[in-house]
A and B are shown apart, each in its own frame.
Chain A
Amino acid sequence: MSLPTETNVILATDCGSTTTKAILIERRDGAYRLVVRGEAPTTVEAPFEDVTRGVLNAVREVEEQSGREILDGERIVSPAEGGRGVDIYVSTSSAGGGLQMMVAGVVKSMTAESAERAALGAGAIVMETLASNDGRLPHERIERIRQLRPDMILLSGGVDGGTKSHVVEMAELIAAADPRPRLGSGYDLPVIYAGNADAREDIARILADRTELSRVDNLRPVLEAENLGPAREQIHTLFMEHVMAQAPGYGDLMAWTHVPIMPTPGAVGRMVRVVAERNGIDVLGVDIGGATTDVFSVFGGVFNRTVSANLGMSYSISNVLTEAGLEAIARWLPFEITDADLKDRMGNKMIRPTSIPQTMEELIIEQAVAREALRLAFEQHRNFAVELKGVQQLRTISDTFDQQTGGRTLVDLMNLDLIIGSGGVLSHAPGRAQAALMMVDAFQPEGITNLAVDSIFMMPHLGVLSTVHETAALEVFDRDCLVHLGPCVAPVGTGAPGSPCATVRARSDDGEWTHEAAVGELAAIPAGEAEEIVLEVAPSRGFDAGAGRGVRVDRNVRNGPLGVIIDTRGRPLQRPKDAAVRVETLQREYRALDLYPEPG
């Protein structure tokens, strides 16, 4: 569909694994603003098995709320004429079970790790990483390849001009396994070769007959440099052509949009990068969905992204239970519940993924699970994908050796400026304080950190919109998308409960206050209506607020509905083990933030 010359009305949808969300943007008085938002369950399930049903339902909600006629039957009217139709329609998608890949390299900690980063960066779930030195015998690798039915394989190995026998051997193993794609049997499995350029002909001879082979630039052309861009782009292209095309209804949806459908994580990552670049700050972004949780960060200008497959709030909720354990979830519950009951509730959410909590108890349980999903996803981000980056990465030889022992993390919580939460459980939390505390408990920020949420889960829409109309995307992002919740002040150190931790002073156009924070406290102190406040945090001896132990930190921060959150509960955060003490502690903390007010 061709783009109009003038854009006044924009429709954007995001087809999540659980819910399809539509937003309507209009240019009014010279500025682009969000008008309304609608949503409907994603309809990949029977009896519909067609993603466009959910899109149409969500758009109908937008029509009802805005009074604007957008649909003509089951067709989106475009371009806009008067009060009818839209000029641009864009969409993102994470439905369809995500992109499941297998990657292979020669040396596990080098080319195989680079291949894994490329796949993760493209939004894939990495099912298996094979390497010549992974300790398995060749026939074991062949068996493993045969068992898996990935959407595609990324094969790398060797620097350009280096030895090619290892990567050729890996290709031989893939050929011998004769792997089949996950979806459908009517096409060959896509294999991307991004290894030693000298081995291309050999690879083609071995794999071209059996697979849909494509070749891109080596993702590790020399030992100390990574070039992940070409492989990532090729993954994205094949994802659209092969995986999405197999998902029910996507053929139609792809014809409706003005620009290619973008994977939801890719679109959110784009917005996180924009925020960091525009403000010159370190940012952590998280998007917690029904099936997966994505973590994005920009530290020191370097963009990282990880996808935690099978950590999510509906389809994957039971997996959060399996990975975190019952005890870890229960430690956030201000009431007692039997293990069997908690497990049944997780199981029921898994099999009815679109249902929502109707009682406060159910809401608290879901938010407890969210804390653990976020914590686990963040751990993975910090420990595993630390060196993942945008386009091209340069390492020194010493970094390369570092990497073998697990890599150097770029995540520095003390220097982190802003956390942005996105995804249903954060964006749609009935109380903003709930979203803030979920993020504080899961990420445990240190020093002074601004907290924000994507108000109504718009980052995916704006990310894909920015590829075609950046002005509109940025204007809506500034005015309607990001909601600042207020800063979190968390001095790091140790002290006896109740002993002095820090003196926190807040000044703004609305006035000022001073709070003497004691060790073990969780409080939210309102700071008026001002958009910005000046914080002065003077930590006690032994506590660090960002400038060293006992050194005062002055910082301009964004105010929010919560004011300033003061968290002196300690890092790492310890929760009481005894159930009765836990219940009492949590009830006190949650009351302090008026987290779960009584209905009515």
Chain B
Amino acid sequence: MTDLILTPNLDNADGFYADLVTAHDGLGRPDSDALNARLVLILANHIGNEDVLSQALKAATLKDS
């Protein structure tokens, strides 16, 4: 089973975060929510691995960690 990475792994954490916030600039809440949903699906497709995605879904609940 491939382990979900929960240690720091971003090349440029601050740059990514700034880009993420900027991507929402000027969007109303429904459009912002939709953008996040699309982003989740795009990243999930990139990951692909079912084990990893299942661990990620669990981790996001903040339970049992």
A and B assemble together:
no
